[in-house]
Structure formats: structure tokens, C-alpha cells
């Protein structure tokens, strides 16, 4: 299937590694022009250079802290100045710290609010003028399975990621007249560096090998394996493309069947 993303400008946050990089690579394979950001200028410039060399596409990397309004405005303005427009946006940011209700004070709640919810508000706000003018665009938020089933000890993530989903559903109605689609993408257990680190920590606590820890996790997933960043990238570029032109306001779960919720 030709997704018709060639020469389309796609902005992807937190794209130096992991799922963000997987989405960037999938978009590069389709010939998209890429504006990528992460907190580390060195890492994101290296990632952009790799994709540019490997797929012969235009890719630029920008330093941006997703919790900073000024950084997000700077990334958006630099993208529009360099590329002229934007056709797709992937909202992505690291998650807030783990913990239960008694672990957090007002400052913790405020930081999580800016990192998880306001980063989505600000990134979307930044691209809307260009998308409205061209009356076309696709916005995708990368969120968490906690929006389906709250995860123990991840209170801050559970609360604010649910807010992002409500934002997306509301905007899908508000922006439809402009031809702008807005959707959520939910990863399951994806084989990233973070998941590998967590598996190693849990294996050490249990006194078992990392391989056995992974096998225990695989048994909880109907498809019997972790997802790959390529799995996430394929799903993302589909939703970003006009192949998904009749899909908006929805949440796609890429988890090998692990989530038990019906809806």
C-alpha cells in the first residue's frame, strides 16, 4: 500500500530512540521529511543524520524539553521556518515518576501536568495554524495502556494520560471541518531499552535469568512476544497517512492482545 507520505512534513517528539525513533524510521521509509526532537541535541542530531543517510530523506533534529512551553514553541517555529509547513505531528514525551497518592506533593502534580498533558496541548497548538490553513493534517498522541486499565503505582500517568485522550476526542470533533484528524496510539510491552532495563531489574529481584523473566512476560501476551518499535512505527504511519482518512477520534492499541478491556 502506498501511504502517500513522500515529501510530507512529519514532526515527531522524543524521537532519538525507542518508539519515537521507530515511528521516525517508518516515516523515513515512506519518504517523509522529518522534524525530530528530544531533550538531547547530540542524540537527536545523530538520529536525524542516520535516517537521512539511510533513507535519503530530509531530516532535522532539534533539542526540546517536552515540559517546556518555550522549547516546544521553538521547535515548532524552527520546523515551519525550515520546512514551510507541517502535515503530521506525533506527540510523545517521557512518563512521570511512579508512585501512589501519598508519594506526591503539589509540585510533583504540577510537573506531571506540564510533561504529560500540557506538552500535548502545546505541541498541538503549535501546528494548528499551518494545518488549518492547508485544511489538512493528522495528529497522533503516543499514550499508555493505562487509559484502558489504570496501572498500579503509576497514579500520575493514569490521571494525565486519560486527560490527553479526552483532549484528542474533543479536538477530533472541533477540527474535523478543517480536514484535521486526531487519534491516539497505545503501545503494549514494546522491546525498548527501558523495557530491557526493567526486565533485568525484575529478574535480579526474583533471582532468575533475564530470559526467564521475558518468558514470564510473554505468557501474558496472547501473541506470545514483545512488540517491536517497527510494529509501532507501522501503526503510526498508517494513522498519519491518508490511508486512514476516515479514522479520527479513536485509540489504536498495539499490544499483541494483552489488554483485556473490551473497549
Q: Which triple of cell numbers denotes residue 69?
A: 512551553
Task: Determine the length of the chain.
Answer: 263
Q: Is 262 part of any domain?
A: no
pLDDT in tens, 51-61: 999 999 999 99
Same domain (yes/no): 94, 208: no
Instruction: Give mean pLDDT, residues 9-17.
Output: 97
Same domain (yes/no): 24, 139: yes
Same domain (yes/no): 94, 198: no
Q: Please indicate whether residue 2 or residue 80 has the higher confidence score (pLDDT).
A: 80
What Cα–Cα distance (Å) separates residue 51 from each residue in 4, 16, 45, 217, 225? 19, 11, 10, 32, 27
Same domain (yes/no): 63, 143: yes
The answer, yes or no, to whether residue 156 has pLDDT greater than 80, is yes
Same domain (yes/no): 239, 142: yes
- Residue 207 structural domain: 191-226
Q: Is 1 part of any domain?
A: no
pLDDT in tens, 176-197: 999 999 999 999 999 988 788 8
Same domain (yes/no): 151, 82: yes
Same domain (yes/no): 142, 221: no
Residue 207 sits at φ, ψ, to 5 deg, of 70, 35
- Enumerate residues 6+ apart whose C-beta is below 8 A from 215: none
Same domain (yes/no): 107, 214: no
Same domain (yes/no): 163, 178: yes
The chain-wide mean pLDDT, for the chain, equals 95
Percentage of the residues of the chain whose pLDDT score is greater than 70: 100
pLDDT in tens, 86-135: 999 999 998 898 899 999 999 999 999 999 999 999 999 999 999 999 99
Same domain (yes/no): 87, 209: no
> What span, in angstroms and rounded, lies between the C-alpha atoms of 124 and 102?
32
Q: The domain spanning residue 234 has which CATH number?
A: 3.40.50.720
Same domain (yes/no): 87, 125: yes
Domain count along the chain: 2
Amino acid at each position: 500500500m502506498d501511504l502517500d507520505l513522500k515529501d510530507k512534513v512529519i514532526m515527531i517528539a522524543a524521537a532519538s530512540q525507542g518508539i519515537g525513533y521507530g515511528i521516525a524510521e517508518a516515516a523515513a521509509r515512506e519518504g517523509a521529511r522529518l522534524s525530530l526532537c528530544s531533550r538531547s541535541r547530540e542524540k537527536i542530531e545523530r538520529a536525524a543524520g542516520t535516517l537521512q543517510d539511510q533513507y535519503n530523506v530530509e531530516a532535522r533534529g532539534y533539542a526540546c524539553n517536552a515540559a517546556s512551553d518555550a522549547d516546544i514553541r521553538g521547535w515548532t517555529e524552527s520546523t515551519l521556518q525550515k520546512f514551510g509547513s507541517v502535515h503530521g505531528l506525533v506527540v510523545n514525551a517521557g512518563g512521570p515518576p511512579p508512585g501512589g497518592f501519598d508519594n506526591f506533593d503539589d509540585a510533583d502534580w504540577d510537573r506531571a501536568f506540564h510533561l504529560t498533558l500540557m506538552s500535548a496541548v502545546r505541541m498541538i497548538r503549535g501546528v494548528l495554524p499551518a494545518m488549518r490553513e492547508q485544511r489538512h493534517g493528522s495528529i497522533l498522541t503516543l499514550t499508555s495502556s493505562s487509559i484502558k486499565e489504570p496501572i498500579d503505582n503509576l497514579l500520575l500517568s493514569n490521571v494525565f494520560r486519560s486527560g490527553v485522550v479526552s483532549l484528542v476526542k474533543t479536538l477530533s470533533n472541533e477540527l474535523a471541518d478543517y480536514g484535521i484528524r486526531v487519534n491516539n496510539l497505545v503501545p503494549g510491552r514494546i522491546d525498548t531499552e527501558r523495557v530491557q532495563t526493567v526486565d533485568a531489574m525484575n529478574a535480579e529481584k526474583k533471582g532468575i535469568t533475564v530470559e526467564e523473566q521475558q518468558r514470564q512476560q510473554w505468557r501474558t501476551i496472547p501473541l506470545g512476544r514483545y512488540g517491536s518499535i517497527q510494529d509501532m512505527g507501522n501503526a503510526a504511519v498508517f494513522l498519519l497517512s491518508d490511508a486512514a482518512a476516515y479514522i479520527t477520534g479513536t485509540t489504536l492499541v498495539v499490544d499483541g492482545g494483552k489488554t483485556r478491556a473490551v473497549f
